[in-house]
Structure 1
Amino acid sequence: MTAWPEARVAVLLAAHQGRIWLPDQIQSILDQIGVSVTILISVDQSTDGTEAYVDHAALQHSNIRILPHGLKSGTAAANFFRLIRELDPEGFDYVAFADQDDLWDQDKLDRAIGQLRLRGADGYSGNVTAFWPDGREKLINKAQAQRRWDFLFEAAGPGCTYVMSRHLFEALQSFVSTRTGALGSVYLHDWFCYAFARANGFSWWIDPEPKMQYRQHQNNLVGVNQGWKARMGRFRHVSSGWWLDQARTIARLLGLESSAFVRSWIDPNKRSGYLVLVLNARNCRRKAIDAFFMSMMVLLLAIHPPSYETD
């Protein structure tokens, strides 16, 4: 435990078809040491008893709160954006994200908040230890040095590691609350939240020390890029232009079109923009191998760009 005053943390948990994993995930959050935790849960309509389970959990624990059921968003991002809009941050010092299927070390939040205080940062994410049903484990390292533009092209690690100061959260909440419709085109909430923080001058720390067990199973939304099936899925996202379209969407939402760098590639029909990204790939991804992969994929898009309609 740290010598800091006990922090009050709101944990935003988005659930969908998670009945089998939620008991362990919620218990690992309730077992956090050195902090005072309140869990706010939003359930995207499920058929496996998830709603009934979280309702029961809220009856058993006064620090578990449930948003009204009936949401049919269809995406984890929309579910998290709902949680961001609905949380009343009054009375909390920090806000964290949680998935429904992981296991948190007891000092996960205490470590994160200690690092935020020590470094004077507003946003935190960290490495994780992925684990599989067959007992395999693997460190997922996302803690490479941040680059000038990495926030437009990748998240700061798994969103389930994110912890934000109230100052950052309130700024994010204000933005999200006024752009509900536009955010419908954002597929990954963690990528967007990191981009929002960096684009608005908030300091972010990526911790090399893993403090959670990142469960891998066939229903993971993103998960670890392991195996040919996962790699091929990500290759299709990049080679189809989807990933770059998401970067353009986030850049526009954050009002970054006036930047000379963003302006050079924001128009998908401008072939020279792909070449700009190839030349600047090392400023766009934290890991060198990811920058190399990005440059190769974007070069393919420059040679064979996706077809876009013009107004």
Structure 2
Amino acid sequence: MTETRASSVAILLCTWNGAAFLPAQLASIAAQTWGNWRLLASDDGSTDGTLAQLEAFRAEHGAEKVQLLRGPGKGYAANFMSVLRAAAGQAEYFAFCDQDDVWDADKLQRAIEVLQRWPEKKPALYCGRSRLIDMEGRACGLSMYFGRPPSFRNALVQSLAGANTMVVNAAAMRLLAATPDDQPVVSHDWWAYLLVTGAGGHVYYDQQPSISYRQHGSNVIGAALGWRQRWRRFGQMLGGSYRRWNDINLPALTAMESWLSAESAASLRAYRQLRESGLFGRLVGFYRMHLYRQTRAGDLGFWCAVLLGRL
């Protein structure tokens, strides 16, 4: 299938000591069927061969095709926020990219063809499941299946998909780039989901994977493989992680409240107030808000957090 029009896509790659797996990712980018791409790679202070690999890739494809940036040195989320601000306005679509994955050849094409269904002025986000691989590239399953519809009521309590699956249009990128420079976020994927749904934009969750997501000890955030891992995350949430995430996400959303729809802004204000309410007020208030996570186990974790005041 050929491109329906010559839409440009900026690939936003963040790296840090990724030399062991980066060549496979770069090769999969070069093999994309959607040829009108440009790579912006932001390195966060690598001390291995990562920079040399990026420079070789730039030499092979040209400086007009590959741009190298220096990250802020404040972790993966800050690095992605930095590169997306640098990329804003440079393309019609923007794809987030991790250093150790492998993309299917039609990854960009599938995403852009979905995003082209919606008006350009409306924020839109494509994301989806991942095919999980081990360090040697062997398949080891799929990321968790999420079947409930994407929405701000879900985004307030859960991130939907990994950023490595995400492609957004220019309207969504303008929204993300408007985030104040001094405002931290929990993760750029969750933040994208919150802002796009909060602004009344479109989100498409693809059940068919288009990337191979490598699982290894250096992952900042890995997939929830098996009940042991999911139980560990459940314990982290009730142990205070959920409240810490809210302490970051809610002030960030408040700073962006003028960009939210009236309905989303009202939900945000209600959520902030209910966090500090007594038990009865929390139970009634959150029930009326109809918030939900993507699985029954996730819903159970949310309501345990409500009961225990860990929001």
Place the TM-score, normalised by the shorter chain, in its bin: 0.7 to 0.9
Report the CA distance between 1:271 and its aligned residue. Answer: 3.3
Instruction: Determine the structure 2 residue equivalent to 1:8.
Output: 8
State how far apart, in whole Å, the 2-side matches of 1:249 and 1:277 are.
21
Report the Cα distance in structure 2 between the residues aligned to 1:97 and 1:277, rounded to whole angstroms: 36
Contact kept? 2:151, 2:197, Cα under 8 Å = no
1:64 corresponds to 2:66: yes
User: 2:140 maps to what in 1?
Assistant: 137
Q: How far did residue 280 of structure 1 move?
A: 6.1
How many Å separate the matches in 2 of 1:96 and 1:162?
Answer: 6
Normalising by structure 1, report the TM-score.
0.85
How far apart in 1 are the matches of 2:267 and 2:163? 29
**Aligned-residue offset at 1:221:** 1.1
Quote the offset at 1:16 in angstroms. Answer: 0.9
In the superposition, the TM-score normalised over structure 2's length comes to 0.85
2:175–2:195 Cα contact (<8 Å) kept: no
SS in 2 for 1:279: helix
| Cα gap change, 1:266 to 1:226, in 2 (>3 Å) | farther
8 Å contact kept, 1:278–1:296? no
| CA distance in 1 between partners of 2:194 and 2:206 (Å) | 17
Structure 2 CA distance for aligned equivalents of residues 66 and 3 of structure 1: 27
Structure 2 CA distance, aligned partners of 1:211 and 1:182?
A: 31
* 1:15–1:44 contact (8 Å) kept in structure 2: yes
For 2:95 and 2:298, locate their aligned partners in 1 and report how far apart those are by CA, in whole Å.
Answer: 27
* Counterpart residue identity of residue 229, structure 2: A
Shift of 1:67: 0.6
Matching residue of 1:128:
130
Distance change >3 Å, CA 247–CA 56, structure 1 → 2: same
Aligned to 1:106: 105
- 1:170-226 deviation digits (Å, cap 9, x = unpaired): 2221x12xx11122xx22111011101111111111111111111111111111112
Q: Residues 284 and 196 from structure 1, CA distance in 2 versus in 1: closer, same or farther, beyond 3 angstroms?
A: same
Q: Render the CA deviation track for 1:43-88: whole Å, top value 9, x for unaligned.
A: 111222222221222222211110136x421x21001011011115
Partner of 2:157: 153
Q: For residues 250 and 296 of structure 1, what CA distance do their matches in structure 2 show?
A: 20
Gaps of 5+ in 2: 258-263
Contact 1:282–1:288, Cα closer than 8 Å, also in 2: no
C-alpha contact (below 8 Å) 2:152/2:197 kept by paired residues: no
> Partner of 1:41 in structure 2?
41
Judged with a 3 Å threshold, the aligned counterparts in structure 2 of structure 1 residues 282 and 219 are, in CA distance, closer, same or farther, namely: farther
SS in 1 for 2:191: helix
Q: Following the alignment from structure 1 to structure 2, what is the Cα–Cα distance between the partners of residues 269 and 22?
A: 45
Superposition pairs of residues 226-305 of structure 1, within 5 angstroms: 226-227=225-226, 230-231=229-230, 233-255=232-254, 259=266, 262-266=269-273, 268-272=275-279, 274-276=282-284, 279=287, 283-299=291-307, 301-302=308-309
**How far apart are the structure 2 equivalents of 1:139 and 1:3?**
29
1:234 to partner: Cα distance: 1.6
Return 5+ residue gaps in structure 1 as ranges. Answer: 307-311
Report percent identity of matched pairs.
Answer: 27
Distance 2:4 2:77 in 1: 33
The 1:276–1:160 alpha-carbon spacing in structure 2 relative to 1, beyond 3 Å, is farther
How far off is 1:147 after superposition?
4.2
Alignment-derived partner of residue 174 in structure 2: 170
Q: Which digits, 9 at most, give the CA deviation of each residue in 1:8-34, with x for residues without a partner? A: 110000111101111100110111103
Q: Secondary structure at the match of 2:181?
A: coil
